[in-house]
Structure 1
Amino acid sequence: MDGGRATVLVVDDSRTKRYLLVSWLSRAGYTVLEAETGGEALARVGVDPIDLVVLDVRLPDLSGFEVCERIKSAHPAMPVIHVSAHAVDVVDRAQGLTRGADAYLAEPIEPEELVATASAVLRYYRARQRAELLVDRLTGLADTTVAVHAAPTFARLLQAAAEGAAKVFKCPAAVVAETFDGDCIAGVTAGPDQPARIVPWIVDDTGVPIGATVRVEQPADWGLVDWPADDTVTVAAGRLREDRAPLYVVVPTRTQTDRNPVLVQLAQAVAAAVEAQRSFDEEHRIAVTLQRSLLPRQIPTVVGLDLAVRYEPASAQTEVGGDFYELVMLDGHLLLAIGDVAGHSLHAATVMAELRHAVRAYAVEGHQPGEILHRVNELMRTLLPNELATICVLLVHPPTGRVRMASAGHLPPVLSVDGKVEFVQQSAPLLGVRAPRPPDLEFVLPAGATLVFYTDGLIERRDATIDDGLSALAAVAARVDENLDRFCERLLVELAPPEIQDDVAVVALRRR
């Protein structure tokens, strides 16, 4: 800021002295306002854009010391220079400086001394204001960086970025980026206290280099929000990779300082968060595609049995898990398996694929459920030593309803018969653990009875215990719809949260 553009308020009840002070400061290039009393000065400081107050110590209504204290109390960054022709001894000077004045000039005052003192005081305060502004903006930048990296979705990321930019620069703001699917959208807000909204927007990315660049453009080119009149917009572009579209942060130019340091840092921080979100979306898409490609393409038609399944992958903002199921007829028996690999990631989905194929292979060899789990466990401990999984495997003979079942730490299936519900319990260690396993559980499924198999995503909640989830499942399963597909759908609607945080697999089997 240039001293010649500063506005000075001269406060003195002496018209002659006030005239001299105004003349000297005006010739030095300052814009000068006048006040005769302390009350008038206090009123003007709160309204007019004043950079410096030159204040007489002796005023008719209030002492200059009191006026200075009140100015500093309301406006700590407002510099004040005391001038006096009467209070000139050391006690007066000490009192003036102690009560907030930045300088104390005793008459007779030379014009050069007044102008030099005003320039020095303003220079210090402007440096202080710049430092305070930078600290405030860097704090806002840190808060915004945390918010965008914590955003659960791409749209919320852009909203957090726009709201953060508006708070950092105290102005309208827009943040534009391209999603993993190639859709260009923008988060826009009208000001620091306004929530951001998402709108579609197209940008020509031609010629935008890798790294951070800043350019000034016309507001009409970025008609996302009502920009301040008589101003341009400053656009910071952040591009991390040649094969990725850049990110843009747009704010009014008047909000910027030399070299736009905070705006550039903000664009780079948001670009990093956008790239992380794009990578997550890409991995999530790959994992979901892998899951769906490895699950059974169709449910077998089995005489004497009704079958239905539901499989819901985790929501787009949550990593996919390793849930899987299997339904296949082998030598007159229905093989049913359901399992869950520990962890949530593309890796968990690939482990799930290996386990499913292993279960199928050992079942085709003619092994019983317990032996299938034993062999799969040995395979895991040899080839996947750091993995854990739960699984439940059973063979059903449709004509007789005879069931042979083995579990490896999986949640117990629900047996529903004529409105009565019980859990088919078999305590056994997880896959991946070397420990003795119990013998297979054998029973006959009564005619009209329904078995429900599921993974933990159906019943687990962060705000409830597993026992609460099992009780809720038992209550819902007491009534089985005639249509098993509708029954499975009802289980998800009544038990799963609106936004699924973990994969959910449900398999229902009913003996006619």
Structure 2
Amino acid sequence: MDVDGNLTGTTVMVVDDSEASRYAMSTLLSRAGHRVVPVASGGEALAELDVRLRKGTLPDVALVDVGLPDMSGFDLCRRFKERPHTAGLPVVHFSAAQVAPVDCCEGLDAGSEAYLRVPAEPLEIEAVVRAAVRNARVRADDRALVRRLTLLSETIVTIQAARSLQELTDAAAEGISRVTGTPAVVFVLDQEDRLYRGLSRDRIPVALPDAGADRTVAALLRRLTRGQGGGVQLTTVPSPLWPAGYFRPGVEHDARLALVHTQDGRATVCLAAPARGMRRMGPERESLLAQLTQATAFAAEPLLMYQVERHVALTLQHSFLPQPHRLPELPGMNVVVRYVPASPETEIGGDFYAVLRTSEGVLTAVGDVVGHSLDAATVMVEIRHALRAYAVEDSDPCVLAERLDRMLQRYHPDLTATVCMALVDPATGRTQVANAGHIPPLIVRDNGSADYVKAAGPLLGIGLPHPPVTELFLEPTDRLLMVTDGLIETRGTDLSASMEHLRAAAVGSLPGLDALCDTLLASFGHDREDDIAMLALRLG
């Protein structure tokens, strides 16, 4: 059927057990420009539909005689409607016999479009068939639109739930592919000119575009969006300018792009699909593409802001945490430290370590400000500075815990922190431990055993009294390990079970402080949801 509603080119299945009647109806429709599929029974009609379904050539309408030899035309209509792939096939019943109005109603109830009494005028037959096809196609278009809008809504929800720019581009590309039925690729070019790329899953995962192709696209996006105002820009890039392989491996395509700046104008979002496929789908699909592009840009903004905040927080932490090569000289003691930020999808935390020389020995500390944000990282810096200042006057770990507790209550009453401190005399091995809500130190011995120091106390920042220090003596062969819970804490797993796993892994490590830390990071430190701070020491 063409855009003017003519029936030229439509395929009509005629189901009639009378050869003469079937021939007459087929001749009339053929002369009007239709393709005709004549069958003599309901069983033949169902078998023919099965064959055509496999070939993808279902008829546009079925003209069904009411009085078939193997089943009634009404029953055949019901069979059509019960099958998912033929439920949308419009049916027009006809009969040369006198039929009571109740029988006509039965056909309509079965799902037919109309009822013809034959013989009928050719113009009437054409008009009824034309109306049946037109109405069926309108319903099919409506169903397709509802499906696309549903997919659009589902995609927007998935995009908004993305925790990183990579997750965002992957979700958006998959959403475009589902909405448009074509391969798709999504780019985010951030304020530092870093390009993030997501490909739809229907693309064969071989021969991915290389870094050169990405650089070409980044330069193209910068050029296309130079001076762009608000709103989504739709444009087509011919294949010589668009690198091959983004939609199909090794295949050149013209690309239909939808581009938009984020609201602050510092990043560009681009959704792309093959231009040929988009032209076939019409303006309504392009409107969906534009909506998805705008939704992706909105979802990208907080991720881009978080990326900046995370970079600032990491820079802050690294600038204030003493680097391993800049630890103070510690006669009679060896110290190894490790710091591993959480995975990029999670917020920065307030984990820290400290190593200080005091008049009474070496003070080591590992702690964590509760929460994940730039504020947590900032308070971490304050706690480290306060600890350094307080230790000048008194390095007793219990006294330091009480002073840090009061400092948090006064200046950050809404925050709490955990910290474990150990004051070690390198000459004697005498060690005093104060623990404020933190994982206690683990003593790893050379005889193949390891035990946690029995030291506990309340969190910093809640104003509860802190117990006296726990005192012990380290042997020259002992290794003392202090960690933050980011190393072992796993959602849904009891912390005591994780601590036992840590103890077992420490016992199985090779000798040496570096070997101990590397073993534990290899065992627990992959894709963690929290930062990891670790400190290991040994006399000698």
Q: What is the aligned partner in structure 1 of residue 258 from structure 2?
A: 236
Conserved 8 A contact 1:323-1:352: yes
The reply to whether residue 42 of structure 1 matches residue 46 of structure 2 is yes
Q: Secondary structure at the match of 1:82?
A: strand
Residues 280/22 of structure 1: CA separation in 2 closer, same or farther (3 Å cut)? farther
Letter of the 1:510 counterpart: R
Residue identity over aligned pairs, in percent, reads 36
Which residue among 139, 145, 154 is the counterpart of 1:134? Answer: 145
Q: What is the aligned partner in structure 2 of residue 68 from structure 1?
A: 77
Q: What is the aligned partner in structure 2 of residue 317 from structure 1?
A: 345
Q: Which stretch of structure 1 is more off in the superposition, 275-284 or 19-28?
A: 19-28
Q: CA deviation at 1:430?
A: 0.6
Any idea what the Cα deviations from partners look like across 1:199-248, whole Å, max 9, x if unmatched? 45333123433322334454663632239x99965433233232212322
Residues 480/260 of structure 1: CA separation in 2 closer, same or farther (3 Å cut)? closer
The reply to whether residue 443 of structure 1 matches residue 463 of structure 2 is no
Q: What is the aligned partner in structure 2 of residue 286 from structure 1?
A: 312
Structural RMSD (CA): 3.0
Q: Which stretch of structure 1 is more off in the superposition, 129-138 or 56-65?
A: 56-65
Q: What is the aligned partner in structure 2 of residue 32 from structure 1?
A: 35
Conserved 8 A contact 1:83-1:104: yes
Q: Secondary structure at the match of 1:258?
A: helix
Which residue among 490, 496, 521 is the counterpart of 1:461? Answer: 490
Any idea what the Cα deviations from partners look like across 1:115-142, whole Å, max 9, x if unmatched? 3333333333222212211221122223
Conserved 8 A contact 1:37-1:61: no
Conserved 8 A contact 1:159-1:197: no
Residues 442/347 of structure 1: CA separation in 2 closer, same or farther (3 Å cut)? same
Conserved 8 A contact 1:391-1:408: yes
Partners of 1:293 and 1:485 in 2: how far apart? Answer: 23
Partners of 1:16 and 1:216 in 2: how far apart? Answer: 56
Q: What is the aligned partner in structure 1 of residue 194 from structure 2?
A: 183
Q: CA deviation at 1:20?
A: 5.9
Q: Secondary structure at the match of 1:403?
A: strand
Q: TM-score, normalised by structure 2?
A: 0.84
Q: Secondary structure at the match of 1:322?
A: strand
Letter of the 1:486 counterpart: A
The reply to whether residue 379 of structure 1 matches residue 381 of structure 2 is no
Q: What is the aligned partner in structure 2 of residue 266 from structure 1?
A: 292
Partners of 2:125 and 2:533 in 1: how far apart? Answer: 82
Q: What is the aligned partner in structure 2 of residue 88 from structure 1?
A: 99
Q: Secondary structure at the match of 1:246?
A: strand
Any idea what the Cα deviations from partners look like across 1:289-323, whole Å, max 9, x if unmatched? 22111101322221211111111111112212111
Partners of 1:18 and 1:222 in 2: how far apart? Answer: 56
Residues 102/218 of structure 1: CA separation in 2 closer, same or farther (3 Å cut)? farther
Residues 43/233 of structure 1: CA separation in 2 closer, same or farther (3 Å cut)? farther
Conserved 8 A contact 2:174-2:201: no
Which residue among 156, 160, 184 is the counterpart of 1:145? Answer: 156
Q: Secondary structure at the match of 2:158?
A: helix
Q: Which stretch of structure 1 is more off in the superposition, 482-491 or 336-345?
A: 482-491
Conserved 8 A contact 1:45-1:71: no
Conserved 8 A contact 2:437-2:457: yes
Q: Secondary structure at the match of 1:122?
A: helix
Conserved 8 A contact 1:79-1:121: yes
Partners of 2:192 and 2:396 in 1: how far apart? Answer: 46
Q: Which stretch of structure 1 is more off in the superposition, 83-92 or 356-365?
A: 83-92
Q: What is the aligned partner in structure 2 of residue 295 from structure 1?
A: 321
Instruction: Please show how residues 91-130 of structure 1 align to structure 2 within 5 Å.
Output: 91-130=102-141
Q: What is the aligned partner in structure 2 of residue 214 from structure 1?
A: 234
Partners of 1:120 and 1:145 in 2: how far apart? Answer: 37
Partners of 1:61 and 1:233 in 2: how far apart? Answer: 54
Residues 231/493 of structure 1: CA separation in 2 closer, same or farther (3 Å cut)? closer
Conserved 8 A contact 2:180-2:285: no
Q: CA deviation at 1:66?
A: 3.4
Conserved 8 A contact 2:269-2:293: no
Partners of 2:201 and 2:505 in 1: how far apart? Answer: 48
Q: What is the aligned partner in structure 1 of residue 528 from structure 2?
A: 500
Partners of 1:215 and 1:125 in 2: how far apart? Answer: 34
Q: TM-score, normalised by structure 1?
A: 0.89
Letter of the 1:263 counterpart: L
The reply to whether residue 275 of structure 1 matches residue 278 of structure 2 is no
Conserved 8 A contact 1:335-1:396: yes
Which residue among 432, 452, 459 is the counterpart of 1:404? Answer: 432
Any idea what the Cα deviations from partners look like across 1:3-56, whole Å, max 9, x if unmatched? 32661414145566556655665676x633231423454344441242222223
Partners of 1:401 and 1:362 in 2: how far apart? Answer: 23
Letter of the 1:372 counterpart: L
Q: What is the aligned partner in structure 2 of residue 362 from structure 1?
A: 390
Letter of the 1:143 counterpart: E
Instruction: Please show how residues 474-493 of structure 1 align to structure 2 within 5 Å.
Output: 474-478=503-507, 481-493=510-522
Q: CA deviation at 1:481?
A: 4.3
Residues 435/65 of structure 1: CA separation in 2 closer, same or farther (3 Å cut)? same
Letter of the 1:226 counterpart: R
Q: What is the aligned partner in structure 2 of residue 427 from structure 1?
A: 456
Q: What is the aligned partner in structure 2 of residue 255 from structure 1?
A: 281
Residues 23/343 of structure 1: CA separation in 2 closer, same or farther (3 Å cut)? same
Partners of 2:435 and 2:112 in 1: how far apart? Answer: 82
Q: CA deviation at 1:352?
A: 0.7
Conserved 8 A contact 1:162-1:196: no
Conserved 8 A contact 1:387-1:432: yes
Residues 236/360 of structure 1: CA separation in 2 closer, same or farther (3 Å cut)? same
Partners of 1:119 and 1:260 in 2: how far apart? Answer: 29
Partners of 1:501 and 1:358 in 2: how far apart? Answer: 27
Residues 174/196 of structure 1: CA separation in 2 closer, same or farther (3 Å cut)? farther
The reply to whether residue 170 of structure 1 matches residue 181 of structure 2 is yes
Q: Which stretch of structure 1 is more off in the superposition, 436-445 or 4-13?
A: 4-13
* Structure 1 gap ranges (5+): none
Q: Secondary structure at the match of 1:437?
A: coil
Q: Secondary structure at the match of 2:387?
A: helix
Q: What is the aligned partner in structure 1 of residue 499 from structure 2?
A: 470
The reply to whether residue 4 of structure 1 matches residue 6 of structure 2 is yes
Partners of 2:122 and 2:513 in 1: how far apart? Answer: 96
Conserved 8 A contact 1:291-1:349: yes
Which residue among 403, 420, 427 is the counterpart of 1:392? Answer: 420
Residues 478/140 of structure 1: CA separation in 2 closer, same or farther (3 Å cut)? same
Runs of at least 4 residues of structure 1 off by over 6 A?
A: 194-198, 229-232
